[in-house]
């Protein structure tokens, strides 16, 4: 799967262009002294792993934890998000934990698999509604978007986008979930295809 196709898939799955994607086009985000400090500790990375695993669980193929998504998500936020996006992501993790305590009286890591899925499903619905509002505002009154906190992406959108992106660009995702053929390799212009075959990794 080419990176461009992956970004299109992420946008389709979340209703919003990949947050932080401008870093791929313009180069790394300039670092400030504050940004040099790690944003995430070991506990945060464990939480990110479990969130990503709930979104992309292990089935007959590896899941997000098998790919070490949590640690790589932390690196992506640290290196590819600007200060505003980083603040939104960090605040989002705190908001997710607060929602857990309000609904279940426990942290996310203490929830059952069914409770985790139910919580993230609801957050995904909330994020979809927010993203639809952002898209609607973009098409009708772009000038009002700047500085309007109600038009910031829902934090779950960032979590879902990063989970998908990191997983499918990892070695595990590319070689054990997608079909992978090393390049350069033999050219075959008539490769047989059966309905249901996995997509190709590139």
Residue 148 pLDDT:
57
DSSP H or E run through 173: none
CA distance 164 to 169: 9
Residue 14 pLDDT:
75
Query: Environment class of residue 11 by beta-carbon count within 10 Å: exposed (0-12), middle (13-18) or buried (19+)?
Result: middle
pLDDT in tens, 94-121: 999 999 999 999 999 999 999 999 999 9
CA dihedral (114, 120, 124, 126) in degrees, to 10, reads 110
Cβ-Cβ contacts under 8 Å for 168 (sequence gap 6 or more): 1, 6, 174, 177, 178, 201
What pTM was estimated for this model as a whole? 0.74
> Would you say 11 and 18 are in contact if contact means Cβ atoms under 8 Å apart?
yes
Cβ-Cβ contacts under 8 Å for 96 (sequence gap 6 or more): 51, 108, 119, 123, 155, 156, 159
């Amino acid at each position: 799967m080419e990176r461009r196709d992956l970004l299109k898939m992420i946008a389709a799955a979340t209703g919003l262009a990949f947050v932080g994607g401008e870093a791929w086009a313009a180069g790394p985000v300039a670092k400030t002294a504050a940004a040099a400090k790690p944003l995430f500790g070991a506990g945060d990375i464990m939480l990110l792993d479990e969130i990503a695993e709930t979104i992309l669980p292990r089935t007959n193929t590896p899941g997000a934890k098998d790919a070490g998504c949590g640690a790589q998500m932390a690196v992506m936020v640290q290196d590819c998000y600007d200060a505003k996006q980083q603040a939104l992501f960090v605040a989002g993790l705190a908001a997710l934990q607060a929602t857990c305590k309000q609904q279940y009286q426990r942290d996310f890591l203490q929830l059952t698999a069914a409770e985790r899925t139910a919580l993230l499903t609801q957050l995904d619905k909330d994020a979809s509604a927010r993203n639809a509002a952002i898209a609607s505002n973009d098409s009708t009154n772009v000038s009002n978007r700047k500085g309007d906190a109600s038009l910031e992406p829902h934090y779950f959108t960032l979590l879902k986008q990063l989970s998908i992106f990191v997983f499918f660009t990892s070695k595990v995702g590319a070689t054990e979930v997608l079909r992978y053929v090393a390049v350069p390799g033999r050219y075959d212009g008539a490769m047989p295809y059966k309905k249901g075959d996995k997509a190709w990794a590139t």
